[in-house]
């Protein structure tokens, strides 16, 4: 029940997630998100219907309601997180998995780190160390690129403005000579 029906790699990922939580190494933001998703995973009305149907020995209704006890979106989120944890563990190792679970702020960020681990393998931890997390590193790189672009554009604008001002001052100080009249 704690793995919400996950199988194979997802189950191993959820087990790793639980172990990291017990060790106190799970990111507080990620722990809060997983807690909210898990708390909202149960459809209490369907669970109540299963209980009353079993009490009345109405097994057909109980079976139909039992399929709605767990909300699909919550199950998909938790299975995705378990799969991401298993992917990171398989590609980059246990230490990187623990570091990722301690640094990630959301399940989406864990997905990004899982994709990074697919690309970089055992170097994933080094990529994470460069910027804290993959998203932080990417956002810093994007911010630096944008500031650099604005700086280049600003300098070009100042240069063109100074050139135009210099031309105007030069024409004011040294006006063009008028047409010469030739004397014959």
DSSP 23-84: TT-S-HHHHHHHHHHHHTSB-HHHHHHHHHHHHTT-HHHHHHHHTTSB-HHHHHHHHHHHHH
Evaluate whether 13 touches 89 at the Cβ level (below 8 Å).
yes
- Both tokens of residue 95? 């230490």
pLDDT 10s digits, 68-107: 777 778 888 888 888 888 888 888 888 888 888 888 888 8
> Going residue by residue through the chain (184 aa), what tens digit of pLDDT does each one get?
444 444 566 677 777 778 888 888 888 888 888 888 887 777 777 777 788 878 878 788 777 777 777 777 888 888 888 888 888 888 888 888 888 888 888 888 888 888 888 888 888 887 777 755 556 667 788 889 999 999 999 999 999 999 999 999 999 998 887 777 777 6
The whole domain housing 77 covers 9-132
- Both tokens of residue 169? 């001052």
Q: Within this chain, do residues 83 and 109 fall inside the same structural domain, yes or no?
A: yes
Q: Within this chain, do residues 102 and 124 fall inside the same structural domain, yes or no?
A: yes
Asked if residue 104 is part of any domain, the answer here is: yes
Evaluate whether 61 touches 53 at the Cβ level (below 8 Å).
yes
Asked if residue 2 is part of any domain, the answer here is: no
Evaluate whether 49 touches 9 at the Cβ level (below 8 Å).
no
Q: 158 to each of 25, 170, 171, how far by Cα in Å?
A: 51, 18, 20
Asked if residue 181 is part of any domain, the answer here is: no
Q: Within this chain, do residues 98 and 118 fall inside the same structural domain, yes or no?
A: yes
Distance CA 28, CA 157 (A): 46
pLDDT 10s digits, 25-34: 888 888 888 8
């Amino acid at each position: 029940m704690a793995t919400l029906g996950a199988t194979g790699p997802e189950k191993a990922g959820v087990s790793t997630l639980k172990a990291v939580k017990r060790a106190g190494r799970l990111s507080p933001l990620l722990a809060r998100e997983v807690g909210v998703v898990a708390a909202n995973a149960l459809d209490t009305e369907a669970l109540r219907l299963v209980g009353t149907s079993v009490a009345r020995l109405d097994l057909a209704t109980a079976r139909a309601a039992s399929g709605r006890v767990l909300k699909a979106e919550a199950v998909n989120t938790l299975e995705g997180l378990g799969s991401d944890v298993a992917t990171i563990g398989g590609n980059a190792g246990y230490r990187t998995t623990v570091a990722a679970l301690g640094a990630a702020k959301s399940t989406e960020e864990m997905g990004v780190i899982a994709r990074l681990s697919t690309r970089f393998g055992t170097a994933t931890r080094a990529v994470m160390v460069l910027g804290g997390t993959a998203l932080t590193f990417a956002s810093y790189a994007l911010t630096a690129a944008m500031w650099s672009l604005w700086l280049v554009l600003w300098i070009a604008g100042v240069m063109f403005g100074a050139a135009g001002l210099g031309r105007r001052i030069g024409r004011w100080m040294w006006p063009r000579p008028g047409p010469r009249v030739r004397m014959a």
